[in-house]
Chains A and B, each alone.
Chain A
């Protein structure tokens, strides 16, 4: 006997104890597919015969079964299932998860069961077996009726032994079909537009012979609702049927298709349908079915039969291209994809309706796509909108052609839309042509940002976000950050090089250069590190283009934001003025045309430090400097006096003590003065816009491109040509390309660092010349900083280089910082790439939010 089992189903074994169910199951199914009541009894009671544990065992069994089905795994229930109540529970479980059910009944002779039971170490006894056999006999003829999709009864051992199990894919599973596809929205009898659209897509249509030749490899997918409302439903149906028959098209069932099929199946003669003035007639009028029926009255009975069969065979939906694409007439949430139940079919045809009607008498539909979080792209129709509506990885293609809109096609995988305008309004819509809906993915959902998450990145695979960091990031984002539409990137943290072994230094460039050389990188770039505040700048060609692309509220031309996503400037006027200067410089240099873009995202440093960090400078840096200098100056004066006071007294020991104290306090005062000098270098008063300096160093993204595949030298040259040579507000970043195998080249880099830092410069950043580099498939640090001795006074504190302090500070661990730098870099690039691919706000924001979450991970802030 051949038993066909759908790939996703609940297989219910039915039979008395000792009928051989477990043996049967083990022969045909994976151990993990079989959930046996005995096994679960043992799990909850340490004894698989403990009948007192039956309820707990079944609760656990069904729980596990439910989890498996939810995740799409075939599940075998190995229990007697001879009672109707037990089977009802299995059936309701399957129904809840929209799975098919297969019953395999081991209806073996009673004697055989009795003998086998008696031979067991702990037999149940004939009384139990007899009762179970009786229960089974009473059940047998009701099984189909109870709701099992398929029922197989094995009446003796020979039959059981002869079984072959064939696992068959579900009808809706077309994962192996990879396209490319041209997916066409609701045709509704608009045949002329359909032909034009097909021709536009490169198909040749021979209307006379109803023949369509597809471009090589391409196939059409119809989203259903071929007929009604438009003038040529019959021709539309014939064209689609022809394409499907040839294998050049797939078609899913729409609600109108289903209705038409029912009418065709039910009515002997179309002439009498619908009866005049019946409720059906009214409905047929408004739905447009009446028009179709009028056309079909002319059709031959053979054609009608063909149409009826074609419509009757239409599937609810298809899962295509390895699960990456789902097509369904009215859309489909992830949990229903690839499943076949009445509920799934109803959803595919009608969407999620509440049963209520709106003021136009149309069913109220719930916006399922707003909550869609699935991996598969869902392409659907059914609900007419003025433009194809993209939302959360779904796209609705019903652009209301019969209502005078357009017929739309989506080219998969290219992601392009092709459209043909309706030649005229064929039917007035019942509801006024809808306003463009307020985009529902415009606002983020909190569930996407609460709790531990795992974010997928191109550069580093899955990156884990801990729950406590997620909570911190949600707080920071919601309380302080700019509107999420603007945040398409956050810069990663940067690690210093290994600690220098030289006694008088904490950091030197040798270690940073060595990091890359020892990992096989031949060429690096050293860039001067500007000491200001990090800023990401997005600017549009003008306010209108920026608004159009970013959809952020307000009317600004762009944004300047900090490394934590806050507005850089408290005063919107300053931001606007700087953005305007930036856009002007870009326009002058022909940037927009050259890059065919209306916007750009830049990674920059804005100087002076005091412009952004004034509060920190006053409350912290200057305040410490003042306290230290004042305290130590007075201390030295006191020590001077004390030394004088000892004059005349013969006390050399006291003098020595004071002298020692004086030497130490003098050194402290000198350190304080150097510290004050260090922070002062990064401060100047900002009176007008021209007192700012903006140093761009990464051209991160423009329309359609993320530029992380270009060398750093390209970035700096491009930025020089487009900005820093255009307007003195923009500061070029000095840099040096270093060949790591050339001693001379390396020496030049070290000399340059010495020179920069001796003059009080912050130091250098060393990066692989290619934007990022990998070794053995693993991402290397995208940048390593080496900071100067003077600069480090404002990081490690005024007295960090005194006495043995430096030696104490050398014990530092970079691992955590480096791990964060890599993950944050990968997430930043991911965010840009998702934005450029026009992924939904949620997906872009998720990556940016991830950077912020990692940023809340505690690390040594001095690194």
Chain B
């Protein structure tokens, strides 16, 4: 909420001229959700410091946002008024816009020169990435210094706050410092208060001119600045790339790269398995956003595809991915999505050649697995059931795993022995033969990252 910029120089009062602000006259600016105040906290010939204070109205911030974000009271008990976020960038552009453009009028030489500058940003959310300030500012020639705080000094066990106060110091043109802060402050934060559209790409390109294209974290900056909108990120990266370096456009950014490739291997493995089984109809239990269905849909072997998921949100994303909202009648007949749950009997699930439970059983409480077995194998009774689930043994190969599991909603992750015992038992109970396969590059000792079981009905 507070940004200070200090100029150490032979005639430090020039900072006022450079910023088009009178050091002796504090001023206020109206913003859409509050006010910005500018005042000088140091005025001396050797050293001047200007402060930009954001005074946001918490009630205005919350207005019209009921049930947005993460729900419960999030909008009312909110750090937005107090942290440095995209609001600060907007204020920066409004208050120091002229300086940002590089105009210096009677001090143009100074405006074009590298000066001894430092800036302090209070309450910058770091999101658990300790090195981020260094990675973002040091390639630009600044030294960084961060101050951290306990979340609550009365409860040391709660750990450190994710907020830091960051000071950067270095030789830079004032306009570059301002533009870099303008772009990089929102990169620390995880939400933008405005709509991210193509206009933001233009702003990013403009403010990033001369320093962003060569920044080693260019892609991360673009991705976060544009709130992970892949199309916009690709657009921005393309426009930032120096045209002389390559004839080919940069490959589009895919993220997170590793996860996607394993996920892709899984869907490919399932597709291959369904082809081998000769399935003409397939049921995707827990279809999520429809990645597997999208792949199966391309194959003419599948005459009838059904995706089921418990989440209406996931289903509408799947609908979008598969293009069902504008589907032809023949496509609509071939693929169908509906809401359902793995532990509920469902007449719609009967009569399929194959059912797939791709990375879903680990989202069930272990106590509910018998219900899933009955729903799937006693009542739905597909000719074959393909199940994939993480192999827990492999997890030691994920050093950055937070907590015990690969996903916060996983209720368990099984070793190969555990999974095989469960599948054999379920198969025997309901008259299915079971075989197993690996997905992903296997570790000689620990097996593959994903394990797959294929249950085929006896009759």
Hey, which bits of chain A sit against chain B, CB under 8 A?
A: 438, 442-447, 449-450, 468, 471-472, 474-475, 477-479, 482-483, 552-554, 610, 614, 616-618, 620-628, 630-632, 634-635, 638-639, 641-642, 645-646, 649, 651, 653-654, 657-658, 661, 664-665, 676, 680, 683, 685, 794-800, 805, 808-809, 858, 860-862
Contacts and interface: CB of A to CB of B under 8 A. Distances in A.
Report whether over half of chain A's contact residues are helix, strand or loop; otherwise say mixed. helix
A797 B58 contact: yes
Contacts of B67: 858, 861
Interface stretch (B96-104, B169-177, B230-238, B365-373): B365-373
B29 interface: no
Contacts of B76: 795-797, 800, 861-862
Given A478-B341, A483-B368, A620 B163 contact: no
Contact of B26 (A630, A642, A676): A642
A624 B161 CA distance: 10
B82 A632 contact: yes
A621 B77 contact: yes
Given A443-B345, A444-B344, A651 B310 contact: no
Interface of B: 1-2, 4, 23-26, 28, 37, 39-44, 49, 51, 53, 55, 58-59, 62, 66-67, 71-74, 76-79, 81-83, 122-123, 149-152, 154-155, 157-159, 161-163, 165, 310-312, 339-348, 363, 365, 367-368, 370-371, 374-375, 409
B161 A645 contact: no
Given A443-B374, A645-B41, A664-B55, A475 B310 contact: yes
A645 B40 contact: yes
Nearest 3 A-B pairs (CB), nearest first? A478-B341, A627-B82, A446-B344
B72 A472 contact: no
Nearest to A683: B155
Nearest to A475: B310
A805 to B, nearest CB: 6
A795 B344 contact: no
Given A631-B83, A683-B155, A809 B59 contact: yes
B165 A630 contact: yes
A641 B155 contact: no
A631 B347 contact: no
B183 to A, nearest CB: 21
A624 B154 CA distance: 15
A588 to B, nearest CB: 30
Given A638-B2, A638-B51, A443 B152 contact: no
Contacts of B71: 861
Contacts of A654: 24-26
Query: Of residues B28, B77, B150, B155, which shows the largest number of chain A Cβ atoms within 10 Å of its Cβ?
Result: B77
Nearest to A680: B154
Given A631-B82, A661-B53, A665-B53, 13 more contacts: A445-B346, A479-B310, A618-B151, A618-B158, A620-B74, A624-B82, A638-B2, A645-B40, A658-B39, A680-B154, A797-B59, A797-B76, A861-B72
B367 A685 contact: no
A630 B51 CA distance: 16
A443 B343 contact: yes
Contacts of B375: 443
Contacts of A797: 58-59, 62, 76-78
Contacts of B346: 445-447
14 contacts: A443-B375, A479-B310, A479-B311, A624-B82, A627-B82, A631-B123, A635-B122, A638-B2, A641-B42, A651-B25, A658-B26, A797-B58, A861-B66, A861-B71
Contact of B152 (A554, A622, A641, A651): A622
B53 A638 contact: yes
A631 B122 contact: yes
Most chain A CB neighbours (cut-off 10 Å) among B79, B82, B165: B82
B370 to A, nearest CB: 6
Nearest to A610: B155
Contacts of A646: 24, 43
Contact of B73 (A475, A642, A861): A861
A446 B371 CA distance: 13
A405 B311 CA distance: 48
Contact of A475 (B25, B77, B312): B312
Nearest to B73: A861
Contacts of A450: 339-340
A483 B365 contact: yes
Contacts of A471: 312, 339
A631 B56 CA distance: 12
Contacts of A798: 58, 77
Given A444-B345, A620-B77, A622-B158, A635 B2 contact: yes
Nearest to B72: A861
A624 B78 contact: yes
Nearest to B159: A618
A477 B341 CA distance: 9
Nearest to A640: B41
A635 B4 CA distance: 10
Contacts of B370: 553
Contacts of B158: 614, 617-618, 622
A474 B2 contact: no
A353 to B, nearest CB: 19
A298 B3 CA distance: 111
A623 B24 contact: no
Contact of A623 (B43, B79, B348): B79
A571 to B, nearest CB: 13
A627 B72 contact: no
B26 A478 contact: no
B58 A799 contact: yes
Contacts of A617: 158
Contact of A447 (B55, B77, B347, B409): B347
Contacts of A482: 365
A627 B79 contact: yes
A794 B77 contact: yes
A798 B81 CA distance: 11
A446 B345 contact: yes
B77 A478 contact: no
A537 B26 CA distance: 60
B165 A623 contact: no
Residue among B66, B162, B310, B348 with max Cβ neighbours from chain A (10 Å): B310
Contacts of A635: 1-2, 53, 122
Nearest to A799: B58
A858 to B, nearest CB: 5
A623 B77 CA distance: 10
A554 B367 contact: yes
